[in-house]
Structure 1
């Protein structure tokens, strides 16, 4: 009799102990920890925590520096090809082999567009990142070479001098992180925001 009561008490004790521990961890991990992390992020890096949003000269939010955009007008700097049309809710790309007919067709179309819009720059000077898709389809950057290859076209369409545009690209060129990681790059959205400012002068 005593043994049975003892076992029953142990079972009850174990259940409530587990229940209390579960509640404690739910509060700590599900409420306290996220709130602390969110609060620290808002204090230490509010821009990053809120999506790295980019504003134009009027203070309007025009995008994120982490997500590429499509610029239809050829007077703007163009970014990389995106097979998902820069839709941030579904990042990714078609994993085509180099011999895939669809990839060849899409690449040829990009080359034809380049020839039509950039007659002053031969195809041999076309940087590869302007006709290739990034893994996410959302890459907001291009190489400095890709930006400068577009300068002659933009200069003709906007009337801004080649020298001014090249200096603009240089000013927006980000070097390797810590001098070691990644490649030199240019954020297309930020570059076009400053280009828009130049066109108004």
Structure 2
């Protein structure tokens, strides 16, 4: 019995050292050496100050900005999570219907115009920094009008800030809302 207890505690100590200390330190060291920008949070700077991260959604509400996906956690990076409502939940259906109507009104769309799903549903984390290209294009006229910019210039900025599929096949192209809005802030009127 004592031998088994010692063996158990020894294995626990070895596993703790290897998996709880050595492995995390090795992965952190490799990440810092190979990808320091990403390992340190992928922070974005504007006018000499940190304004966010490439990988965490920010809330933009003014008509002169592209708006991110809705968030169940209010775009608070300290809090991550979805609404946990099923696809047939009446609360979710009502929420999506209200968001759809508000999106159409805000962007000057017809009452029966199609709305991209990412414009009216939150991501699983509630902090997804990207919107679909279709969502960005539907917001472009509103942003161009609010900023007094040519719509073609806004469309060009969308194209410049569209990310491609990972490895050419995984996922869908998307637009990073923070980076696009910062580019708009730098664009001459």
**TM-score category of the 2 structures, normalised to the smaller one:** 0.7 to 0.9
The aligned residue for residue 5 of structure 1 is none
How many pairs were matched up? 189
> Higher helix proportion, which one?
1
The aligned residue for residue 48 of structure 1 is 38
The aligned residue for residue 172 of structure 1 is 161
Runs of 5+ consecutive residues of structure 1 not aligned to the other structure: 1-10
Mapping of residues 26-175 of structure 1, within 5 Å: 28-56=18-46, 58-119=47-108, 123-175=112-164
Contact 1:127 1:145 survives alignment (8 Å): yes
TM-score with structure 2 setting the length: 0.85
Compute the RMSD of aligned alpha carbons.
2.7
CA–CA distance in 1 between the matches of 2:112 and 2:20? 55
The aligned residue for residue 174 of structure 2 is 185
Cα 1:154–1:121 change in 2 (3 A) is farther
Q: Which runs of 4+ in 1 moved over 6 A?
A: 11-25
CA–CA distance in 2 between the matches of 1:12 and 1:105? 62
Contact 2:104 2:113 survives alignment (8 Å): no
Cα shift readout 1:33-80 (whole Å, capped 9, x = no counterpart)? 433332221111001111111112x13111111111110212100111
CA–CA distance in 1 between the matches of 2:127 and 2:173? 18
